[in-house]
Amino acid sequence: MNRFENKVTMVTGASSGMGRATCKRFAAEGAKVFAIDIDESGLSQLTAEIEADGGIIQTRTCNVANKDECSAAVAAAVEAFGKLDTLANVAGIVRFNHSTELSEQEWNLVLAINLSGPMFLSQAAIPHLIENTGSIVNVCSNAGLMGQAYTAAYCASKGGLVQLTRSMAMEYMKQTIRINAVCPGGTDTAMNKGIDFPEGVDWELIDRYTGKRGMAPAEDLASAIAYLASDEAKTVHGSIFSVDNGIMAG
């Protein structure tokens, strides 16, 4: 498939996990990829791998929690490749805490990266995306659709991102732009390695959202993101697409 030939795709969280897999998928399908992350070395490695496969990529370090950096990154993508067709908001962090022990700093950090970042980037990208009948794909989580114990900030941020997706889908209903979300369940990435659980967690409560079918490979989420960003999904707008091995089934 070459669904992204002559398309410019911008991906956040590009140094690791789903963001990285999404960049590779877009590049393999002909896109010019503009990849951003706070992890510069991950971006360098990704560039080497994509270029070795004949793909086209430019990168920029960007903290998505900072509005000015988000605006500058979108401007840099348009400057580099002349337009923007897709914004994939993939970057995110998770913290496990008892709610009463969650610090103000950690609450603000999780909300800033997971919710404010996609908002800031969307604000800068939308005028360009409208010009090109483009689209936004926000990576939320099953934790944005269900209560998940010990992750109050994360759940709130992802639930907020689900509603941001729906609100923007309604606002831009009459324009040529599509706005959708993917809700992964457990996915085999760095996020799930060495999680720092607080003392005294009730594992019975955590078991509810780990699912029965194990972890998804990051590439499966990249496939879902690429589908939603592609013309194959031209009638998909305002969709909240679960890719979670059945966790949300009941």
Ligand X SMILES: NC(=O)c1ccc[n+]([C@@H]2O[C@H](COP(=O)([O-])OP(=O)(O)OC[C@H]3O[C@@H](n4cnc5c(N)ncnc54)[C@H](O)[C@@H]3O)[C@@H](O)[C@H]2O)c1
- Enumerate binding residues for ligand X (CB under 6 A): 12-13, 15-19, 37-39, 42, 62-65, 90-94, 113, 139, 141, 184, 186-187, 189-192
β-bridge mates for residue 59, sequence order: 35
Residues 180 and 228: their CA atoms lie apart, in Å, by 7
> Which of 143, 154, 189, 141 minimizes the C-alpha distance to 19?
189
CB of residue 18 to ligand X, shortest distance in Å: 4
154 is known as an active-site residue: yes
Q: Is the Cβ of residue 94 or residue 179 nearer to ligand X in the bound state?
A: 94
Give the CA diameter of the chain. Answer: 53
Residues 177 and 173: their CA atoms lie apart, in Å, by 8
Residues 249 and 51: their CA atoms lie apart, in Å, by 40
Alpha helix segments (H runs only) across 152-217: 152-171, 203-207
Q: Is the Cβ of residue 151 or residue 230 nearer to ligand X in the bound state?
A: 151
Torsion angle of the four alpha carbons 202, 203, 204, 208, in this order, in degrees rounded to the nearest 10: 120
CB of residue 186 to ligand X, shortest distance in Å: 4
**Could you say which of 154, 172, 209, 227 is catalytic?**
154
Residues 128 and 167: their CA atoms lie apart, in Å, by 19
Q: Is the Cβ of residue 65 or residue 126 nearer to ligand X in the bound state?
A: 65
Edge to edge, what strands does the sheet with 8-12 contain? 56-61, 32-37, 8-12, 86-89, 135-139, 178-184, 240-243
Q: Is the Cβ of residue 180 or residue 187 nearer to ligand X in the bound state?
A: 187
Q: Is the Cβ of residue 35 or residue 234 nearer to ligand X in the bound state?
A: 35
Q: Which residues are catalytic?
A: 154
